[in-house]
Every structure is written in C-alpha cells, then in structure tokens.
Amino acid sequence: MKKYKLEDLKEMNTPMHPTCTLSKEDTGSKVDQKLFRGMISSLLYLTASRPDILFSVCLCARFQSDPRESHLNNVKRIFRYLKGTTNLGLFYRKSLDYKLVGFCDADYLGDKIERKSTSGNFQFLGEILISWASKRQATIFCKQQKQDTSQLQLVVHNYSG
C-alpha cells in the first residue's frame, strides 16, 4: 500500500463490484504500464495466502499490455478490499478426519471478454482446503459440440448398459 501511496483509500467489502465488466475496447485514458504491472505483481504474490482475491487479480492481469483508467481503478479497489480485510486468511486446524473430498464447477461463456467458459475445482482433506484452481478454457464450447457430446454419452450409455 505504501509503495503505491494507497494508505488513505477507503476500505471496501468486496475485491470487485459484482456487476463490473472490464473490456479490451475501453476508451478511457491510458495509465502507466509499469505502475499497473507492478501493482498486479504485488497482488499476485498475495494470492498464495489470500485466494479470495485470485479471480479479481487474474481478471485485471489480462489488461497489462494496454491498461486503462478503469482497469487501474479496479486494481485499486482490490487494494482497498485488502486494507479492510487484514484479518482474513487461511486457517488450518488439527483434524483426525482425513477424508479427501473434491468439488468442481464451470460456467458456460462466463468470460464476457473472450466468450470462453471457466472451470474451477477445489479439494479438502477433512475440513482443510488443500488445493484449488480456476482456469479459462482454451476453446469456445459451441452448441454443435454440446449436441455431439450428448450423442456420445448416449452411445456410451447404450454400449455399457
């Protein structure tokens, strides 16, 4: 915060506004690329202990090649969120329950910028979160592929059953 002179900013409850949409076609004024990249780098370092900012930071990191004022404002909002949530972090309790449980989810075309889907997963060992990931898919999943996939599932079901 001191490095970027952000100590006097107001605290926020969320790292990014729920309806916020960032765009590559933003017509706002350009900002200092070196400053923007430095802020993103600092935030990426923090994601190891603060997974709650991971999505927001990675979304903002997509605009490092041509950052605009709106992108910088979103990065500053993440810093404002960190300022108001210094008591948050990961806590690992001692447990005798070592059952491994995993969850996954995906959204269909949730990326408004490149029209790609995002998938995510996380794993627990007992009550302890041990791993998590989020990845934007490399290809666009179109309706025709979806129909082909359901036909393939039908063939596999008929063959096995």
Question: Contact at 8 Å (CB) between 118 and 135?
Answer: yes
* Residue range 79-90, pLDDT digits in tens: 999 998 888 877
Residue 122 has pLDDT above 70, yes or no: yes
Question: Contact at 8 Å (CB) between 22 and 70?
Answer: yes
- Confidence category of residue 143, pLDDT binned at 50, 70, 90: low
Q: Where are the domains of the chain?
A: 1-90, 100-160
User: What's the token pair of residue 95?
Assistant: 């447990």
